Amino acid sequence: MPANVPYSRYFLAAILQFQFHRALCAKLDLADRCINVRSTATEGGEKLNQMLAMGLSKPWPEALKTMTGEDKMDATAIIDYFAPLKTWLDEQNKKP
């Protein structure tokens, strides 16, 4: 482990990243095609700003609840994100 940083931190960050992404896309009503959120004028942008404004003053479950409305991590966001790729790969694997 370089610099004594546990790899669990990176693992958990990836799960949270996809969960945040799914929440932002849902707020923007772009669930199938959401790639990036830059506007602070949207509801999703406002939620992102609220979460980031917390900084380190609040524990991460509160930031998660502010952003997603959920207080538990949910790795199904990763499955949802890659579902179109999995469908395509399944179709490709069925071909002779």
Closest residue by Cα to residue 67 from 37, 35, 88: 37
Of 86 and 10, more confident: 86
Task: Tell me the average pLDDT across 10-23.
Answer: 87
Whether this prediction's pTM lies above 0.75 is answered by no
Distance CA 17, CA 60 (A): 13
Of 45 and 85, more confident: 85
Q: What is the CA radius of gyration of the chain?
A: 16
Distance CA 60, CA 2 (A): 24
Q: What tens digit of pLDDT does each residue of 27-43 get?
A: 765 544 554 445 444 66
Q: What tens digit of pLDDT does each residue of 34-68 get?
A: 544 454 446 677 777 888 888 888 888 888 888 88
CA 18 to chain centroid, in Å, comes to 2
